[in-house]
Amino acid sequence: MNRLYLIGNLTADAVLAATASGMSVCTFSLAVNQPGGKQADGSGNVTYFRCSLWGAQGEEAARMLKKGNKVFVCGEVHASAYRGRDGSTRASLEVQCREYELLSGNAPTA
């Protein structure tokens, strides 16, 4: 079973786009604080996850999810590797969300 549960804060407003076939997809980045101490420079241990929500659920999320909101997501995690601008190999984690819940912030009023 590949299921991941996260609570974190959005690093930017969610973005809504459409695939070539017209399917809506909402993408956003979630910063998740790790328990434990601070790093030497005083910053906390944070892991960033790229997240996506599809279809009508994604359209709703794009209206509600704004930078700084605390959000719960549940979905499948997928890892991929890519080459950074400096030529180094990097890894990226993406969560294809099945559920989400806004934990802080104000839901928009139509």
Residue 26 in domain: yes
For the chain, how many structural domains are there in total?
1
Output the pTM of the full model: 0.80
* Sign of the CA dihedral running 60, 66, 72, 78: positive
Q: What rounded mean pLDDT belongs to the chain?
A: 89
pLDDT in tens, 61-90: 999 999 999 999 999 999 888 898 999 998
CATH number of domain containing 32: 2.40.50.140
Structural domain containing residue 22: 4-102
pLDDT of 37 higher than 70: no
Is the predicted pLDDT of residue 109 greater than 60, yes or no?
no
Q: Which residues pair with 84 in a beta bridge?
A: none
Identify whether 109 is part of a domain: no
Residue 82 falls within a domain, yes or no? yes
Q: Phi, psi at residue 58, to the nearest 5°?
A: -70, -40
Residues making up the chain, counted from first to last: 110
Tell whether 107 is covered by a domain. no
User: Does 19 map to a domain?
Assistant: yes
| DSSP at 68 | T
